[in-house]
Amino acid sequence: MLQKFWQKCILIFTTLLLLSVPSLVSAKEKISFMYLYGETTEKYIELFEQTNGAVNVVSPNYFELDTNGSLVINVDPVLTQYMQKKQIKVVPYLSNHWDRNRAQLALNNPQKLAADLAQAVLNYNLDGVNVDLENLTFDDRQKLTYFVSLLKEKLSPHGKTVSIAVGAVDKPIYSGWKSAYELSNLSQVVDYMIVMAYDQHWQGSAPGPVAALPWVKSNLEYMLTQIPKEKLVLGIPFYGRYWTNGQGGAGIWYNNVIKAVAENNGTIEFHPEYRVPVARYTDSNGNYKEIWFENAQSLQEKINLVNIYGLKGVSAWRLGQEDPSIWKDYANWLYGTYFQDITNHWAKEDIIYLSERNIVAGRSAQIFAPDAGVTRAEAVAMLSRIFNWEISSTNPFTDVPDSHWAIQPILMAYNHSIVRGISADKFGPEQNLTRAQLAVILQRAFALEYSGEINYDFYDVPEHHWAAKEIYALKGLGLIAGRTLTDYAPEAKVTRAELAAMVARIIRE
């Protein structure tokens, strides 16, 4: 039934698909870095396979320091081979597991540590290394920078990356473990820096969020004064922390939070200011539990910062602790093709489908406004992104001046008899499109014909209605439905979600 339509635009639309679908392997590729820790090879692979292609760098704990500060190598060749066969970069991290003495001993002989580490990366054909030395001091900062520079010097000629994880701060500091990082100097040495924007509250602190959104933004804005945005990777937490009677703060995974809340008839609130969920309940022993954690909504809002600030990418600690529902949308969040206001919307998949193909745009980078009305100008602008219409040389509409943002799509559609004006000299570009008008426009644009039997079963669209032919043709093709079983609501305004859904259905047929 749609053969005529495809003959008309299959070449144009195929070209559009090839040009506009975002590719995860491109010059504009963003880093999606994932730490791996504490699991078996089989479990790592199982967890990775759930990520839906959203991760392009994994960082297993292959490198550690012993009590003498010497390098300990624990490379897993099976895991490395599995990841690299899938074209996933393997960039293991060097950890001192918060042991200050081991890291300081190692930095006392930076040439040896850099040589040993670089040789291991080359011997095992790894893609680089991430330096994650924590709990050092302000006095160690120059030694750390020097070691990283030696490592970069040895690995860069071989095309291997060197990155470093640093603590997030919102101002210059001169004491505490986060003071050990010479941010500006390090940024000139490494390929990228992972800013660990978490542990706002920690084990031993008062209860509170691991990474409240305002806190993350405040830290990020200062870090960007020290680190170029094209080298900054935002580190986010997959874990939460729980307190018992106001004490504790140990880590907890998402699935365990949900289980504990269900077993204890607890409550979960999404904090309106901190933009993270918090769970509360009293257990069977009378102990009051408070859990601050992360879910899909809170992680989406953090990942959106990558696009807002133009960052290199995102990193997460660690795989297996997360809300598993994130993986269906994680890549969309990272690549800015996902809108905050369609998370649970019935037309979400259709909107994403068209957005990925540059056929629809949001009202802003994060807002689609799915339930807002569609203007006549917006409707023809969407269709003009699909069809290679020629523009008319004359403009009969006095309400569409040369400065109007949609003058070209409007005149294109008019020139091809897809739309008419609301009068001889008025187009009504800002008028809301009605459902009857939409049916007519879609039928004309896509040359849709229905040859089956027509049942005039909408009470408000009798056979003599001016748009009856088009409405029932699209209904017969299964492309539109009524607002109810018996009412089409032809004069009701079309929402942006309805328009996206109808166009997506036509294209998919």
pLDDT in tens, 460-480: 999 999 999 999 999 999 888
Secondary structure (H, E, C), 360-413? CCCCCCCCCCCCCECEHHHHHHHHHCCCCCCCCCCCCCCCCCCCCCCHHHHHHH
In this predicted structure, the answer to whether residue 26 has a pLDDT above a threshold of 70 is no
Closest CA to 70 of 105, 119, 94, 98: 105
Confidence of residue 62 (pLDDT cuts 50, 70, 90): very high
Question: Looking at residue 332, what is its pLDDT?
Answer: 83
Question: Looking at residue 386, what is its pLDDT?
Answer: 85
| Radius of gyration for the alpha carbons in the chain, expressed in angstroms and rounded | 28
Per the omega criterion (within 30 degrees of 0), is the bond before 100 cis? no
485 C-beta neighbours (distance < 10 Å), count:
8
Q: What is the arithmetic mean of pLDDT over 67-92?
A: 97
Question: Looking at residue 11, what is its pLDDT?
Answer: 32
H/E stretch holding 19 reads: helix 3-20
- Distance separating alpha carbons of residues 358 and 189, to the nearest angstrom: 37
In this predicted structure, the answer to whether residue 438 has a pLDDT above a threshold of 60 is yes
Q: What is the arithmetic mean of pLDDT over 46-51?
A: 96
Active site residue 463: no
pLDDT one-digit tens code per residue, 172-186: 999 999 999 999 999
- Distance separating alpha carbons of residues 316 and 6, to the nearest angstrom: 44
- Distance separating alpha carbons of residues 82 and 239, to the nearest angstrom: 26
Confidence of residue 5 (pLDDT cuts 50, 70, 90): very low
Question: Looking at residue 359, what is its pLDDT?
Answer: 83
226 C-beta neighbours (distance < 10 Å), count:
19
Most confident stretch, 7-11, 43-47, 354-358:
43-47
Count of alpha carbons within 13 angstroms of residue 115, beta-carbon side: 4
- Distance separating alpha carbons of residues 334 and 395, to the nearest angstrom: 42
Domain locations along the chain? 3-12+340-508, 29-238+294-334
Question: Looking at residue 16, what is its pLDDT?
Answer: 32
pLDDT one-digit tens code per residue, 125-158: 999 999 999 999 999 999 999 999 999 999 999 9
Closest CA to 186 of 167, 202, 170: 167
Q: What is the arithmetic mean of pLDDT over 48-69?
A: 96
Global pTM exceeds 0.75: no
H/E stretch holding 250 reads: strand 247-252
- Distance separating alpha carbons of residues 171 and 369, to the nearest angstrom: 37
Confidence of residue 13 (pLDDT cuts 50, 70, 90): very low
Question: Looking at residue 28, what is its pLDDT?
Answer: 61
Question: Looking at residue 243, what is its pLDDT?
Answer: 98
Question: Looking at residue 392, what is its pLDDT?
Answer: 64
In this predicted structure, the answer to whether residue 77 has a pLDDT above a threshold of 50 is yes
Would residue 122 be called left, alpha or beta, if left means φ above 0 and alpha means ψ between -120 and 50 degrees?
Answer: alpha
Average pLDDT, the chain: 90
In the block, tokens 């540590």 appear at 113
Contact between 61 and 37 under an 8 Å Cβ cutoff? The reply is yes
Question: Looking at residue 480, what is its pLDDT?
Answer: 87
Q: What is the arithmetic mean of pLDDT over 375-400?
A: 84
Question: Looking at residue 12, what is its pLDDT?
Answer: 32
The CATH number of domain 29-238+294-334, selected from 3.40.50.300, 3.40.190.10, 3.40.50.2300, 3.20.20.80? 3.20.20.80
In this predicted structure, the answer to whether residue 7 has a pLDDT above a threshold of 50 is no
108 C-beta neighbours (distance < 10 Å), count:
11
- Distance separating alpha carbons of residues 473 and 476, to the nearest angstrom: 5
Count of alpha carbons within 13 angstroms of residue 439, beta-carbon side: 29
pLDDT one-digit tens code per residue, 339-365: 878 877 899 888 888 887 778 888 876
pLDDT one-digit tens code per residue, 200-232: 999 999 999 999 999 999 999 999 999 999 999
Confidence of residue 393 (pLDDT cuts 50, 70, 90): low
Question: Looking at residue 365, what is its pLDDT?
Answer: 66
pLDDT one-digit tens code per residue, 268-320: 999 989 999 999 999 999 999 999 999 998 999 999 899 889 999 999 999 99
User: 39, 42, 46, 134: which is the annotated catalytic residue?
Assistant: 134
Q: What is the arithmetic mean of pLDDT over 103-113?
A: 98
